[in-house]
Amino acid sequence: MSDRISVGVVLFDGFELLDVFGPLEMFGQLPNHFELCLVAENGDIVASNQGPRSVLDFGFDSSPQFNMLLVPGGSGTRREVHNPELLEWLRSQADNAQYVTSVCTGSALLARAGLLDGRRATTNKAAFDWVTSQSDQVDWQKQARWVEDERFFTSSGVSAGMDMALALIAEITDLDTAKQVATWSEYEWHQNQDWDPFAAIHDLV
């Protein structure tokens, strides 16, 4: 690993494409600041929920310590909450990571690993009941685009991961850089982390 912030994205069969590649598009605009890596339990090719597959950089047994951990959601999280190897790897990485982040139902994995105990967090509003059932030790936020609790950043469903990634870029670099990344990506960044129309759509508020 270099002096750049290493971002380790944990993948599993059935991960959500945009949960992963939306944030990586944002971080990837700043190659001098971020080094992006894909990790999975066996370090093999992993299929997304939508079908396209990704080639991994590391398996759990060969991965370095990452500065930032990114956990996506997707249908595979329903299975992976019962995967002790993945949960233990998350705990091990989180111990020394500068930032621990999730998109969508990825927060279910963090919660099941005990990493969100006593913290504020959010998740995909369409899957809110299932995710929150994974732990009653988390202060789950029904209305939030993303939530920051010290070094833990959790975001709502799918596209919200890009808003969270830009917020992280703003914190790590500066606000102007984050705005420039959004412009380069032709993405309309929702800078208000409490902007969440989907909480009402899914009858949470």
Active-site hit among 20, 70, 86, 104: 104
CA-based torsion, 16, 19, 21, 24: positive or negative: negative
160-172 vs 17-28: helix crossing angle, rounded to 10: 30
Residue 37: active-site member: no
Residues noted as catalytic: 104
